[in-house]
Chain A
Amino acid sequence: MNLIENVSRRISQHRPSQHVSRRGFLQTALANGAFVLSVRFIPQPLFAAEGEAAPAFDASLWMSIASDGTVTIVAHRSEMGCGSRTALPLIVADELDADWSKVRIDQAIGDPKYGEQDTDGSHSVRSNFDLMRRVGATGRVMLISAAAAQWGVPQAECTTEPHFVIHRGSGRKLGYGDLATAAAKLPVPRQENLPLPLKKRSEWRYIGKESNSLFDLPEIVTGQAIFGMDATMPGMVFASVEHPPVLGQKIKSYDDKAALQVAGVQKTLTIETFKPPHQFQPLGGVAVIADNTWATFQGRKSLKIEWDSSPHSIYNSAPFRKTLEATSRQPGKVVRNVGDVDAAFAQSGKSGGKIIEAEFYTPHLAHVSMEPPVAVAEYRNGKVLAWAPTQNPQAVQETIAGVLGIKKEDVTCHVTLLGGGFGRKSKPDQVAEAAVLSKQLGKPVKVVWSREDDIHFDFFHSVAAMYMKAAIGPDGKPTAWLQRTVYPPINSTFDASAKYADDEMGLGWNNLPFDIPNHRAENGPADYHVRIGWLRSVANIYHAFAIQSFADELAHNADKDSVEYLLDLIGPARTVRLDLTGDEAEDAKTFPLDTARLRRVVEIAAEKSGWGKKPMGKGRGLGIAAHRSFLTYVATVVEVEVDNRGQVHIPNVWTAVDAGTIVSPDNVRNQFEGAAVFGTSLALFGEITATNGVIDQSNFDNFQVARMNRAPRHVDVTIVESEAPPAGVGEPGVPPFAPALCNAIFAATGKRVRELPLSKTKLV
């Protein structure tokens, strides 16, 4: 057996002093550790960075069994509320046939040996399901082999029940803990040498079961859970940074005399402004170092800083919108072409057919995870140790290594629980700030961002303009459909000259699942003036808003029922032909775009909502939207009530989800309930604007999110039973929500909403 360094143990030793170990038995679990399993499986992450070789799983360590029976499973993905940290170990435990109450989870540090660790793109389960199963099954085979040897019986006569190996003939049994030492001496079977006996679906004890709940639930409800905000290091000081108000500004001069008079303030330090492209580098600015967080905030108020100029100070949201919209009316880069849209439009013109055009607009959004960015880091002897609530600990390593000019192997990043992430915490600029300041100070530094910092200096969800045009045939269905989308691309974060979208095209734009003979999807160029980043479901938000709103508009235009029309647009059950390349093409092999699955979620959501069967009354309406994202099929019906003051109430939401195989159904429902609230927030209130390059919003008073009294009263989630490979669940609930809501508003009021947030449109 290839015994390698016990990562679990290392992590345990580095836990912050406050960390409360789970349950009493954990204390001694690793002290007697005997059976340490390493496996050499190569997972195939579907979103591997371009140009990177498949991550070599050179002797990684995934699980161990101590002689007291404690099973330790390493979670290599971050927990930000989506359940990944629980789901992956559950899969291992199932195939291992472990008793879940005897499982502990150790959070992996950032290390490429775990493969890709960026917990985003709703793919933790999708990309690791098979790997985790094989890890567990390998352990089970070894335990059976150890027991069989001890009893002197053939392995085939042995089986397992949770945490025990059983000899069928004699009924003898041995606990996993008792077998750990013997199992550790056996060679690890390699997957290529034997077909691992994976369980049948009917034998799963945990996968797909209602009883699963978050591993960290007890610690969360008792306040013992350790988030990034709660991490400490001995001897640390606190820091908070006054960033340049406009992206790219540098410090011209500053006066910290008054700041240094503030009680608790120790000193001020500067952080250099990044060199473009900004990537995840610190923004720069003046840091106030103090005895506690409050003093850092107070000190900042007394700083006098003069900033130099930035090319981005020209950024004003109203004129920028006009530019985006003008671009959207011009031909753009073609990203998908079916048939001949131009010929079809010309033909329609000649035959007096109907042409319908519409424009859609959605603003920037901020993530506002409840835990603002925070990190603690120590630089010592050319190495950095960091604790951070990060979605991507390897990006922490790379970013800090780049900024400090050290090797990324010399950056150790531990991952705490994340108080929300939604994509913001894939970008570790605040962790790099802590490392930079620690190097200057010679002691550990905890950097805390205020809510104002979080909103002013986000990696924003992009502002977008969409232009849609359809030629309508005699049956009311489109004969041609042109769609054009324009926004500052995420790529501008990595390439300051980038103007066209890249990965965003796969997010609901180059894969329209409609049965239309002539179709063209285009993308137009745009400049960036703020940092642009991923936000929960990313470009799917504006793409689904335009496509699903336009579809509903065409239904009403044809005087057809919205659900029937949508099913007609989707067309017959088939695999949609997509001309994809790279990762998307790989995805499509395992996850073809199957319109039968899309139709089914539409039918289920409609049926659950009582679509067409109940009288709605004045000011009430139902709206539907369906969208496939992260390889998951979702349809949502929203019931809306618009009162006589024009205020929108959402009594009910019905969502149907086909995400393939599900690990934790209750958690999946929770994700989709939450997605409806996230969708409500962005549809009703979400808007970030800039004036002369400075963000106008600052806290929850002027960047509102849905509170309980504005959230949907009831969200009903139906999970479609499926044996298809697992797809995403964290994000796919978001995209259909806003168009379903706006379609419901049209049904209720006759007002077509083509821009978000709704607060921009007068409804009465």
Chain B
Amino acid sequence: MIRFKVNGKDRTFDGDPDMPLLWYLRDVAQLTGTKFGCGMSLCGACTVHQNGAAIRSCVTPMKEVGGAEITTIEGIAAMHPVQKAWMDIRVPQCGYCQTGQIMQAIALLKENKSPSDQDIDVAMSGNICRCGTYQRIRAAIHEAAKHQAAKETA
């Protein structure tokens, strides 16, 4: 029996320990904000937080989440400054990859309060957007960083 937390709630799992967290979240816990895109950690659509750090849930087997605190997009208090920036800049087109992008961006801004374009490139290039909203993603991360900084100095 694997014990862990998802969005603050205690959870247990006694199925196939090799099942990736992605499919537990989507098919078992019915938290469908986390998306399937590649299954090989190539696209970032499945990004969630494990103890605050961004991970790819599609290659994280359940046996590795024992004792962990998992946060999905559903566990992010709406409207997080990053989500608000995504709304203000009107980033999404189809929107499918955007929850993964947002989770990745939140993790980046936790570590780096004022990322440069270069920092954003490094942190975000594992997340594919086939609609091609990268320019807006970059702008939204800068905007969220600005808001965050303004809040902290206020």
Contact = CB atoms under 8 A, between A and B. Distances in A.
B106 to A, nearest CB: 12
A677 B36 contact: no
B97 interface: yes
Given A81-B131, A370-B35, A370-B94, A223 B16 contact: no
A294 B20 contact: yes
Given A214-B90, A229-B32, A370-B35, A222 B131 contact: no
A735 interface: no
A320 to B, nearest CB: 27
B15 A263 contact: yes
A238 B26 CA distance: 12
Contact of A294 (B23, B42, B132): B23
Interface string A250-267: 000000000000011000
Give the one of B32, B87, B90, B94 with max A CB within 10 A.
B94
B95 A676 contact: no
B134 interface: yes
Contacts of B72: 223
B36 A368 contact: no
Nearest to B92: A220
A420 B96 CA distance: 7
A705 interface: yes
Contact of A221 (B28, B34, B42, B102): B102
Contacts of B33: 222-224
Interface string A673-710: 11111100000000000000000000111000111110
Nearest to A222: B78
Contact of A708 (B39, B73, B131, B138): B138
B43 to A, nearest CB: 6
* Chain B interface helix/strand/loop/mixed: loop
B10 interface: no
Contacts of B86: 221
B27 A673 contact: no
| B interface residue count range (under 10 / 10 to 19 / 20 to 34 / 35 or more) | 35 or more
A584 interface: no
Contacts of A556: none
A700 B39 CA distance: 10
A422 B131 CA distance: 9
B64 interface: no
A86 to B, nearest CB: 11
Nearest to A418: B94
Interface in A284-318: 291-295, 297-298
A670 B136 contact: yes
Contacts of A292: 19, 23, 27-28
Interface residues of A, number: 69
B137 interface: yes
B128 A705 contact: yes
B92 A263 contact: no
A194 interface: no
A420 B131 contact: yes
A230 interface: yes
A451 B94 contact: no
Given A223-B74, A420-B131, A708-B138, A217 B90 contact: yes
Give the one of B35, B97, B132 with max A CB within 10 A.
B132
Interface in B1-46: 15-16, 19-20, 23, 26-28, 30, 32-40, 42-43, 45
Nearest to A219: B95
A333 interface: no
A225 interface: yes
Given A369-B130, A422-B130, A18 B93 contact: no
Contacts of A420: 94, 96, 130-131
Given A292-B27, A293-B26, A709-B125, A223 B38 contact: no
B130 to A, nearest CB: 5
Contact of A711 (B90, B94, B132): B132
Interface in A69-83: 79-83
Interface in B71-124: 72-74, 76, 78-79, 83, 86-87, 90-99, 102, 117, 120-122, 124
A673 B23 contact: no
A93 B97 CA distance: 30
B135 A673 contact: yes
A292 B90 CA distance: 34
A714 B135 contact: yes
Given A370-B129, A371-B96, A451 B90 contact: no
Given A18-B32, A81-B94, A420-B130, A673 B137 contact: no
B134 to A, nearest CB: 4
Given A223-B34, A224-B33, A700-B43, A707 B83 contact: no
Contacts of B121: 708-709
B42 A700 contact: yes
Given A81-B92, A709-B121, 6 more contacts: A217-B95, A221-B87, A294-B19, A369-B96, A370-B96, A705-B130
28 contacts: A217-B92, A217-B95, A220-B95, A221-B83, A221-B95, A221-B102, A222-B78, A227-B95, A229-B32, A293-B23, A294-B23, A369-B130, A370-B94, A370-B128, A371-B94, A418-B94, A420-B131, A422-B130, A670-B93, A670-B133, A673-B135, A674-B133, A699-B40, A700-B38, A701-B42, A705-B128, A709-B121, A713-B117
